[in-house]
Structure formats: structure tokens, C-alpha cells
Structure 1
Amino acid sequence: MKVIEIETNKERGVKLTGYLQEVGGEFEGIHKRPAVIVLPGGGYGICSDREADPVALEFARVGYQAFILRYTVRAEQKELIWPHPINDYDEAYDLIKEHADEWFVDTDRIAVCGFSAGGHLAACTATIAKNRPKAAILVYPAINDDMCDFCAPGLPRPAQEVDDLTPPCFISAARDDLLVSVSNAMNFASALTENGINFELHIHSYGNHGYSNGARWVNQNSISRGAQGWMNEATRFLEEVWGIFTSNGFTKPEIKRCVSGDMEKYLSVDCTVLYLEQQGERISHIIGEQLKTIDTIIKAKGYDGAAASYVKTLYTLRGMLEVAGLPKEYIDSLDNELNTIEAIRG
């Protein structure tokens, strides 16, 4: 493993640290690695060491190129620091992309992982940054208006900025958090729900604030077993989004960025049935017979007219074909064909 440190802004003390692992050689099936940019918390007053190396090294343990960004923080209580932190992130992201070949980074698999105020910054990278990450992990994030105002003046409200370009998000918080209420995590999850973005939300039974990577050696507070294992759950979520990282590269992802394929650029079996019908004759050679079968199933259930159309807005093609008992291999084959066709948006 090679450790790099780059001071991206000396005046503001911004530093990017990277834990970089090799590819090739004994890792002959691996040519690039997924990456994560860790954004420590600290109320925009410090960048917590507890939420830096202990987290980055856990990601390195499962094969990631792990970076820590110590972004701009305020020197005094009411200092206006925005937009320096998100500019720091964009500069770091550009640097990682620029050195992707040298650092063996898969630029299609770069995530952010932020804690508390760093969770606010991570949420902003997912919603308003020039360089959106491919996934975002938010751990007890500061999202609500009162928390934003508490951290620093002029901070954006990321829950209000969620859009159809927001990447999949994993969110972890503790029910008994005395500093950043779980309502922060829940409100961001609600915004993701409203915009159809895939996410996973974990509210642990106890753990208070600042449980970092969940390890007992990092924590003075009592934390639940769920909070202790949140990093395993987060990496499992990334496996679903990106595919499993193996000695021969990545398997096929299990879920897409959006809950519905209707929001994606290309068609898929994860589009709703009605949306696919609206694509017209150009896809009839692929799924025309399947759509007829679905009509038969819906009529057999007693739905007709407007009711039938409503059902078609609820169910994806994948879901209906699974109801019909068709094998996964067949559904995946249809998906591959549809993936080559750009959607016509209404």
C-alpha cells in the first residue's frame, strides 16, 4: 500500500490523503479499484481524526482506494466558509480523475462517505456538486435547517436539492443521537423517496452521536450491534449498486440508481409497464409478446380501463415477468436488449 498526501490549498489547510493499493501481479484479475472519499465530521469547525483514518482503512481492507479529504473549516464561530468545502471536494474529485490511471481508480465507482457536518457535505456532493459521486454514504448527517445554521452560516439545504441525478445513498443514524436528531437522516430519506432515488436507511436502536466506523476502540459511548456493523452494511449496499468486487473485477449490479427505470436514459426491465408501452412499436420486437401476456394477467385479476393503466404504473416489467414465473436468465436477456435503446421521454 502506498500513502499519498497532497495539500490542495495551503492557505485554508485543505489536504487529500490517499491509501492506494496495487493492481496486477498477484491481483492479476484486478485492473482498477473502487474508491471512496471520506469526509470527516466536526461541525465545520474541525475535521475529526476519529472519522478519518479509522474509516478509510476499513474501506481499504475490503479493496477500495481510500481517500480522506480534510476540507475547509471555519477559524471562528460565525465565519462564512461556504462554498469552500464543496469546491474543495470538486477539486479533490478532479485530482482523483486526473490521476485515475496512476492510482488505479475506477472512475465509475467513486463514493463519498461523510459524517455529521461531513455528512452534510456528502449530501451536497450528491445533489449540487459539479462532480456527483456514484454513491453517497451519510452517517448521522446534519441536514435540517437548524443543524445547518448551527454548523455555519450560509450552508445549503441538501434535502431541498435532491433531483433525478442524485446517486444512490446509504444512510446510518442512531435513534438516541443527542446532537443530530435522527429526523435529519429521515428527512433526507424522504426527499430521496419523493425523487425516486434508490437508498437504504438504518436507524440503529442506540449509539448516540459520533460512532465513526462502529469499532469499540473508537467509541466511548455504548453502541448497538447494528451501529457496530454499519460499515459492513454500507459496503454490501455498494455491492448491490456497483456489483461485487471480486478477484476478476465486478459482477453485474443488482439495483440501479433510481427505483424506477423510467428515470434512466436507457430502457430496461425495471421500467414500468405503462412507460414501456408508451415507447411505441420500436420495442415490440423485444417485448411485444410479453406485454400481451401482461395484459392477459391484469384482466384475469379483474382490472380494466383506467384501473388497468394504474396497475401498469405500479409494476415494472421485471416484476410482472417474475409474477408470470419466467426465469431470471430470460428476464436478464430482455434487459440486455432493452439497455441498448434510448428512452423517449414524454
Structure 2
Amino acid sequence: MQTQDLAYQDTKFTLDTYFLDPIADFETQVERPLAIICPGGAFRFQSDREAQPIAMQFNAAGMHALVLHYQLFDGDTPVYPLALQEMATTLNWLKSQKENHHIDLNKVVLIGFSAGSQIVANFNSIMLDPEQREKIFTDELTVEPAANILSYPVIDMTLGWPKDEDWAMKISPDIYYWQAQEHLTDHGKPTFIWQTVTDQAVPVMNSIIYAQKMDLLGIPYEMHLFGSGSHGLSMATYVTQNPGNEANLNSNDAKWWELCLNWLKLQKILPKF
């Protein structure tokens, strides 16, 4: 892992990069897909359980990975729109890295967990629509994601998370950014969604309303709602278990990763074999 510092205007932010090395004995190097990961953490912090372990899973599947340390509420600066501008800056930066790291820029995937998923959903809704994007990001978006993965996502901040409206106002004093589904257009990309119906922190209706809007717009999606399990599962295996916390383990919910890989193959982001 290496750290990369980027900036949007005067604001600096950081990426953790997990680029796969070229295979020396290949006569022709493979251009590989890439995942940009937005960990959760209620916009207060970013969970390590949803960072490096997820990046390493993508590496094992043959994909480059980045962890985006997006804007959190720091007591002064709200999350939005800066987090979306940082994502756009990251995507544009990838173009300069294409040759160095053999990146397939047509196969970039955004993946979010919990609060990080709202950044991905809002990006899919707002930043891929040129008319909405130009209001907050005046540069051209030279690289667009091909697909999204939403893991127990916050979509609509009026649906039960956060419970405190004051915290929502700190995340974004502009309520435009509160409801990602409201701004989704047919510019949105195919999306994989998973959550548990017993999620105690983020109501499952968040996933349902985003899938419903995608369905209305004819955007391809796949959604898996598991019958039990807590919020913040990450991989739902011992790999991401906080020692002693049995709620981090769920063998049924852990199947989301296999289902996700299969979906990436259906989207032709990963090869079938």
C-alpha cells in the first residue's frame, strides 16, 4: 500500500493505493479494473474494517483498489459537496495513472459502506448528470465509473439515520444532498446493493427506495436483502471481526461477496473465468 495526496482546489485529501504489480513474464500486460472504496463511519471517521480488507479482496479478484479518505465533518467543513468533488478529482487523476499501472478506465467501480455508500449513491445520482454536476464541479469528468456497489447504504437522511437532524445539518446544511434517490437520472450506472433487513442502524428502506428508483429509470441493478444480521458487517467473516464481537460474523451474509463477484462478471467488469 502507498499513500497518494491529492487536492480539490485548496483542500487536500488522501488515497490509499493498492495497485497490482505487472506480471513480469507476461508478454502483454493486462489492463485491470479498479475499485474506489468509501468506508463507513457515520461521517465522523472511516472504518478500517471497510478499507484495507476490502481492497485486498478486490486485489485477490484481479482488480486494483483505492481507499478514498473523503471529507468528514470536521467541526467546520460539511461533508457535501466536497466529498463528491474529491471523488471526481480521484477519477480524473486515474487517467494520469493508466499507463503506469495498466488500469482499464472503462471498468472503474465505486463501492461504499454505510455512510460511504451515500457518497457513492449521490455521485451516481448527481455527478453523472452533466446538468447537476456542473453546479458543483466545473472541470470535465474525464473518467466515469462503470458500476457501483452499495453496502448497507445510507441513501436518504430522513429515513431513520441519522436520528438527530442536527447531525444531518452538519453533514450537509443543504438538504439537496440528503436524499440521493431524488436526484437519480438515467445517467446512473448499474448498481449492486446488499443489506440485512434487521439492520439496527440504517433502515433497510434506504436500499429499497434506491433500487425502486433505479427500476423506474430502467437502470440495471441487483439487490440482496438478507434475513438477519447487524449493521457494519464488512466481509462478515473473521477477517473483519472486531475480536470478541460475534455480531461481526454471519456466514449467510458473508455470501454477499461471492454474489458481488458474480455480478461484476455479469457486468463484464471481471472475466467469467
* Separation (CA, whole Å) in 2 of partners of 1:243 and 1:9: 28
Q: By how many angstroms is 1:26 displaced? A: 3.6
CA contact (8 A) 2:232 2:248 kept: no
Q: 1:63 to 1:23 in 2, by over 3 A?
A: same
Larger radius of gyration: 1
* Separation (CA, whole Å) in 2 of partners of 1:192 and 1:20: 32
Q: By how many angstroms is 1:21 displaced? A: 1.2
Corresponding residue for residue 151 of structure 2 = 139
Q: TM-score, normalised by structure 1?
A: 0.66
**Offset from partner CA, 1:31-82 (integer Å, 9 cap, x none):** 2001000001111111111110011110001110011101110113x85231
Corresponding residue for residue 69 of structure 1 = 68
Higher helix share: 1
* Separation (CA, whole Å) in 2 of partners of 1:209 and 1:137: 16
* Separation (CA, whole Å) in 2 of partners of 1:206 and 1:28: 48
Give the stretch that moved more between structures: 83-92 or 226-235.
Answer: 226-235
**Would you say how many aligned residue pairs link Structure 1 and Structure 2?**
244
Matched, 1:224 2:236: no
CA contact (8 A) 1:116 1:142 kept: yes
* Separation (CA, whole Å) in 2 of partners of 1:96 and 1:56: 16
RMSD: 2.2
CA contact (8 A) 1:13 1:72 kept: no
Corresponding residue for residue 203 of structure 1 = 225
- Aligned ranges for residues 156-175 of structure 1 at < 5 Å? 156-175=178-197
Q: 1:27 to 1:208 in 2, by over 3 A?
A: farther
* Separation (CA, whole Å) in 2 of partners of 1:166 and 1:4: 31
- Aligned ranges for residues 280-319 of structure 1 at < 5 Å? none
Q: By how many angstroms is 1:13 displaced? A: 5.8
Identity %: 24
Q: By how many angstroms is 1:226 displaced? A: 3.0
* Separation (CA, whole Å) in 2 of partners of 1:190 and 1:216: 33
* Separation (CA, whole Å) in 2 of partners of 1:66 and 1:132: 16
Q: Higher relative CO (CA 8 A, sep ≥ 6), structure 1 or 2?
A: 2
Corresponding residue for residue 2 of structure 2 = 4
Letter of the 2:58 partner, please give it. Answer: F
> 5+ unaligned residues in a row in structure 2: which ranges?
128-140
**Offset from partner CA, 1:213-269 (integer Å, 9 cap, x none):** 2222423215433311211211110110115427xxxx8xxxxxxxxxxxxxxxxxx
CA contact (8 A) 2:233 2:248 kept: no
Q: 1:128 to 1:29 in 2, by over 3 A?
A: same
Q: 1:60 to 1:109 in 2, by over 3 A?
A: same
SS of 2:231's equivalent?
coil
Q: 1:190 to 1:79 in 2, by over 3 A?
A: same
Q: 1:145 to 1:74 in 2, by over 3 A?
A: closer
Give the stretch that moved more between structures: 87-96 or 17-26.
Answer: 17-26
Corresponding residue for residue 274 of structure 1 = none
* Separation (CA, whole Å) in 1 of partners of 2:112 and 2:54: 10
* Separation (CA, whole Å) in 2 of partners of 1:167 and 1:17: 24
1:100 to 98, 101, 123: 98
CA contact (8 A) 1:20 1:103 kept: yes
SS of 1:69's equivalent?
strand
Give the stretch that moved more between structures: 109-118 or 148-157.
Answer: 148-157
> 5+ unaligned residues in a row in structure 1: which ranges?
252-346
Letter of the 2:54 partner, please give it. Answer: V
Q: 1:215 to 1:28 in 2, by over 3 A?
A: farther
SS of 1:50's equivalent?
helix
Corresponding residue for residue 186 of structure 1 = 208
Give the stretch that moved more between structures: 154-163 or 197-206.
Answer: 154-163
Q: 1:30 to 1:21 in 2, by over 3 A?
A: same
